[in-house]
């Protein structure tokens, strides 16, 4: 069998029905001395007061009786007498309440909340039910005594995961309103917020313990304290070694060093094989403007190209 769940808010219709049920009392037969039904039961009870009054009776599944008394005073009189003995039976009486038909406690967190910024035309209960629906179901609307004009107080069954304080934006016609809600002080924290905070503290504690163990292990092995790793450490070290603006380190490569470049006519790209003093890059042809093999132009002492040395080197090959 399928089972559906719904949560209702207390509106004006429910309150009006509860007000009418205040005239009712619940009767249960404790001792029986003859066969009776709900009509004979009602007749026996009415004879204790006045049969001409309006009496009604309904039967529950467990054979207890819901008696609609003519007035609230008569119902409270029966309740105050407790157990009443009649010629055919003995019955106990107790006032009706919303717990009579309940099968258990409702699931959800009930909290009192303060609200401010409420428009004066939104004060009615049914309007507040619709307004507060995104936050939770309103169970009870508190008194306005001692509150400012745009303030209110209500008990809500909060939706799971809802955080307080919160704000509600509401539009009506061409106006927009902002209602702020916060939980009344002195109430226990919401379970989902408390669980989240405990989980965060547990993770933080676990991380701290792991870090302490790692530091203790490094000290035991005689290692230095762990600092920045990888690229960040290199950046800090290089920055510390530099003396000032324009200063260079001892291991830096001089800017006037000439790299050695080999050029092959069969390869369109150039490949740098490393620095070599006294060698500069040359074109893809020799000094006589003829295409040749790999060419290297050597500089003489005065910085000019030594063509004779180049041709002698080609003849040796």
Range of the domain at 231: 190-239
- CA gap 83, 85 in Å, rounded: 7
pLDDT at 245: 52
- Peptide bond before residue 2 is cis, with ω within 30 degrees of 0: no
- CA gap 230, 84 in Å, rounded: 90
pLDDT at 25: 93
Same domain, 44 and 91: yes
Q: Can you spell out the DSSP letters for 215-248?
A: HHHHHHTTPPPP---HHHHHHHHHHHH--STT--
In a domain, 204, yes or no: yes
In a domain, 254, yes or no: no
Number of domains in the chain: 4
Question: Which residues have C-beta within 8 Å of that of residue 108, sequence separation ≥ 6?
Answer: 7, 136, 137, 157, 158, 160
In a domain, 195, yes or no: yes
In a domain, 233, yes or no: yes
Question: Which residues have C-beta within 8 Å of that of residue 296, sequence separation ≥ 6?
Answer: 262, 279, 282, 310
In a domain, 134, yes or no: yes
Which stretches of the chain drop beneath a pLDDT of 50? Answer: 234-242, 258, 261, 263-265, 267, 269-296
Same domain, 54 and 116: no
In a domain, 3, yes or no: no
Convert the pLDDT of each residue in 3-34 to its tens digit. 877 777 778 888 889 899 999 999 999 998 88
What's the CATH number where 29 sits?
Answer: 3.30.70
Which one of 95, 121, 146 terminates a domain? Answer: 95
Whole-number Cα distances in Å, 182 to 60, 138, 146, 167, 202: 43, 14, 18, 9, 28
Same domain, 81 and 22: yes
Residue 312 has phi, psi (to 5 degrees) of: -65, -35
Convert the pLDDT of each residue in 97-146 to its tens digit. 888 888 887 777 899 999 999 999 999 988 998 999 999 989 889 988 88
pLDDT at 247: 53
Angle 129-131-137 (CA atoms, 0-180°, nearest 5)?
45
Same domain, 266 and 234: no
Same domain, 129 and 176: yes
In a domain, 7, yes or no: no
Same domain, 219 and 196: yes
Does the reported pTM lie above 0.85?
no
pLDDT at 211: 66
- CA gap 292, 314 in Å, rounded: 10
Same domain, 78 and 130: no
Same domain, 52 and 88: yes
pLDDT at 203: 61
Strand ordering across the sheet containing 89-95? 56-59, 65-68, 24-32, 89-95, 83-85
Helices (H) and strands (E) in the chain, counts: 7, 14
In a domain, 245, yes or no: no
């Amino acid at each position: 069998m399928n089972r559906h769940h719904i949560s209702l808010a207390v509106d004006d219709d429910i309150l009006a029905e509860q007000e009418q049920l205040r005239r009712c009392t619940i009767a249960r037969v404790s001792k029986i001395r003859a066969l009776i039904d709900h009509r004979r039961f009602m007749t026996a009870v009415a004879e204790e007061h006045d049969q001409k009054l309006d009496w009604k009776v309904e039967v529950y599944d467990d054979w207890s009786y819901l008696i609609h008394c003519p007035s609230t005073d008569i119902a409270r009189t029966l309740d105050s007498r407790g157990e009443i003995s009649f010629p055919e039976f003995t019955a106990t009486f107790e006032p009706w309440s919303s717990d009579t038909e309940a099968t258990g406690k409702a699931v959800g967190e009930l909290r009192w909340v303060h609200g401010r910024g409420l428009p004066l035309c939104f004060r009615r209960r049914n309007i507040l039910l619709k307004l507060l629906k995104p936050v939770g179901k309103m169970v009870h609307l508190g008194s306005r005594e001692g509150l400012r004009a745009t303030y209110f107080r209500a008990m809500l069954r909060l939706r799971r995961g809802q955080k307080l304080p919160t704000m509600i934006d509401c539009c009506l016609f061409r106006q927009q309103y902002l209602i702020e809600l916060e939980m009344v002080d002195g109430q226990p924290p919401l379970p989902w917020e408390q669980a989240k905070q405990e989980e965060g503290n547990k993770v933080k504690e676990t991380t701290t313990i792991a870090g302490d163990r790692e530091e203790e292990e490094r000290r035991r092995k005689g290692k230095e304290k762990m600092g920045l790793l990888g690229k960040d450490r290199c950046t800090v070290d290089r920055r510390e070694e530099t003396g000032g603006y324009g200063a260079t380190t001892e291991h830096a490569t001089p800017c006037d060093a000439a790299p050695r470049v080999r050029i092959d006519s069969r390869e369109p790209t150039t490949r740098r094989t490393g620095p070599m003093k006294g060698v500069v890059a040359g074109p893809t042809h020799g000094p006589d403007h003829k295409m040749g093999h790999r060419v290297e132009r050597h500089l003489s002492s005065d910085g000019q190209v030594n063509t004779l040395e180049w041709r002698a080197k080609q003849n040796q090959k």
